[in-house]
Structure 1
Amino acid sequence: MILVTGATGHVGRPLVDLLLEAGVGVRALTRDPARARLPQGVEVARTQDLPMEGIDSVFFVLAAFPEGPAELIERAKQHGVRRIVALSSYTARDDDPKNFIAVRHRDLERRIEESGLEWTFLHPAGGLAVTALEWCEQIRTTGVARGPFARAHSAPLHERDIAEIGARALLTDELLGTRPLFSGPESITYADRARIIGEAIGKPVRFEEITHDEARKEMGDVGIPPGAIEARLTMFAQLVDRPHEISPVERYLGTPGRTFARWAADHAADFR
């Protein structure tokens, strides 16, 4: 049986479906099982209970355990868990001690690697397409998407592609002991993202560039930690007018990555 943490999240939810399709048992952790709405056949449990009995492999998401993986690792070793596949970050390759996001993910990887368990660390690069959902209310009510860097490039990943690579790491030994790096299939600006969403919903969407201070306030208002805010602003600034490097998912999945236009079409209802 495979334990999926963050099972109702953007990556965890499609991963649950993929594992069920593969015919394996799934125990899904969520903060509120009564509201999880997961498919029939999934064993649902509370994240804080952390039930490990009968688990062979774990998909770990740091967002579900903001205090880190220490307790999960200890419970996993007590119950004979064999493997942890962690959704990490390409920033873990950055050894800058001032990069808050990098430091957190390097620590995550170090703790799991030192546990002696089998591991794979997923390194999505180029940004997650789902971050555009931050614009839902703005686009629905004003037709405008606000952000600090209109010309900053990214190569946004569809969450389904991340889930498919996670499933491969859980179900096969092909990615064992590796840190697969992968991005979306195209480099686009944040202004492009707004335009593409508009095309998907059938009405113009304009990107409105805001100041750094305005961006800090808006990100802080939704609970992003100050260190993460500064790391994001620094990263965005470095990507202005600079096309993002593409690391194709084909090398892991054998098929091209899903475009941002595909993501926008899949999520059009969220913006209407």
Structure 2
Amino acid sequence: MTVLVAGATGTVGGIVVRRLAAAGVPVRGLTRNPDAVLPSGVEKAVGDLSDASSLAAVFAGVSAVQLFMNWEDQGAVVDLAVRSGVRRIVLLSSDGTPDEALERRVRDSGLEWTILRPGEFAANKIDIWGPAIRAGGPVREAYPDVVGVPVHEADIADVAVAALTGDGHHGRTHLIRGPEALTHREQIRLIGEAVGREIEIEEVGHDQARQDLIATGFPEEVADHILHYFVEWVDAPPVPVSLEPITGRPGRTFAEWARDHAADF
């Protein structure tokens, strides 16, 4: 039976469909973009999670589905999964601001459910710090010594694949974080090592950091959302989580993530 992955071209979904296809699992990738190119062996389905009425054919023959939290009412999509005979549902939620209503809908669906709550995506650094690093200038930071535990997107995908295809995940909520606690200063140093040059840090105030994020292209509410966590972590830093009991391997370090993404900087 087929596994349906929503957000098949996304940061995590793109890896999940590749992992499933490589393992010989029949996989259908859901995307909003009719021109999207998916990996070999992945069936493309075009549709929008915000319009469940358009997805009946997409869910036909599906045994397991991965959804992702996108701040739209997906309750109707969960209901469609139930009506379509889906047996297992995996929801990619969030550690910081989970969609509690959607999580509740998934838990109450009667399906085999797993909720994934990833913390800070390491990939966010590409958008936050990437423009300054690519320009060759210093990274302007309001909280250079705040501690985070960024997680490699490949580790999130590995947990998702385990939950979609393996046993022992039903009724569980998996917290997904990186394997090590690092300050922003340490993270920037590791990116510098990956790209082969030292990256300077210019310390600025909170308001200036907010203006910098907005000038980079972040909407105001997203800039505030990002900085909110940095402020929160000053007094209550997140702690690492071992994913090895789920994936069978240690979590990827930030240095490994930086090497994997050196070209993005």
TM-score normalised per structure 2: 0.88
| Corresponding residue pairs, total | 255
Match of 2:196 in 1: 202
Give the letter for the 2:33 counterpart: D
**What pairs with 1:47-86 in structure 2 (closer than 5 Å)?**
47-48=47-48, 49-50=54-55, 51-63=58-70, 66-86=71-91
In 2, Cα distance between equivalents of 1:209 and 1:241: 19
1:9 corresponds in structure 2 to 10
- Distance, in Å, in 2 between the alignment partners of 1:263 and 1:185 is 12
Q: Deviations over 1:102-154 (max 9, x none)?
A: 4xx212201212222221001223x1110111122221113333343111111
Cα drift, residue 79 of structure 1: 1.2
Note if contact 1:153-1:242 (Cα within 8 Å) is conserved in structure 2.
no
The answer to whether the 8 Å contact 1:153/1:241 transfers is no
1:33 aligned counterpart, secondary structure:
coil
**Aligned match of 2:231 in 220, 229, 237?**
237
Query: By how many angstroms is 1:90 displaced?
Result: 2.1
- Pick closer, same or farther for the CA change 1:207–1:72 going to 2, 3 Å: farther
Task: Report the secondary structure of 1:123's partner residue.
Answer: strand
CA contact (8 A) 1:191 1:206 kept: no
Q: Which secondary structure does the structure 2 equivalent of 1:56 belong to?
A: strand
Indicate if the aligned counterparts of 1:143 and 1:204 stay in contact, CA closer than 8 A: no
Counterparts of 2:219 and 2:7 in 1: how far apart (Å)?
A: 18
Residue matched to 1:133: 126
Deviation per residue, 1:169-205 (Å, 9 max, x gap): 0001211110012321111111222111111010111
Partner of 1:180: helix, strand, or coil?
Answer: strand
> Residue 69 of structure 1 contacts residue 112 of structure 1 at CA under 8 Å; is this kept in 2?
no
Distance 2:155 2:250 in 1: 9
Kindly, what percent of the aligned residue pairs are identical?
42
Are 2:219 and 1:193 equivalent residues in the alignment?
no
C-alpha distance in 1, partners of 2:105/2:214? Answer: 28
Q: Which residue number corresponds to residue 138 of structure 2?
A: 144
Q: Where does 1:1-272 land on structure 2 (aligned, <5 Å)?
A: 1-34=2-35, 36-48=36-48, 49-50=54-55, 51-63=58-70, 66-91=71-96, 101-102=97-98, 105-125=99-119, 127-134=120-127, 135-220=129-214, 222-224=217-219, 226=221, 229-240=223-234, 244-271=238-265
Structure 1 runs of 4+ aligned residues shifted over 6 Å read none
Instruction: Assess, with a 3 A threshold, how the Cα gap between structure 1 residues 148 and 180 changes in structure 2: closer, same or farther.
Output: same
Measure the CA separation in 2 of the matches of 1:87 and 1:114.
16
Q: CA RMSD in A?
A: 2.1
- After TM superposition, give the deviation of residue 225 of structure 1 in Å: 6.5
| Equivalent AA in structure 2 for residue 3 of structure 1 | L
1:264 CA displacement: 0.5
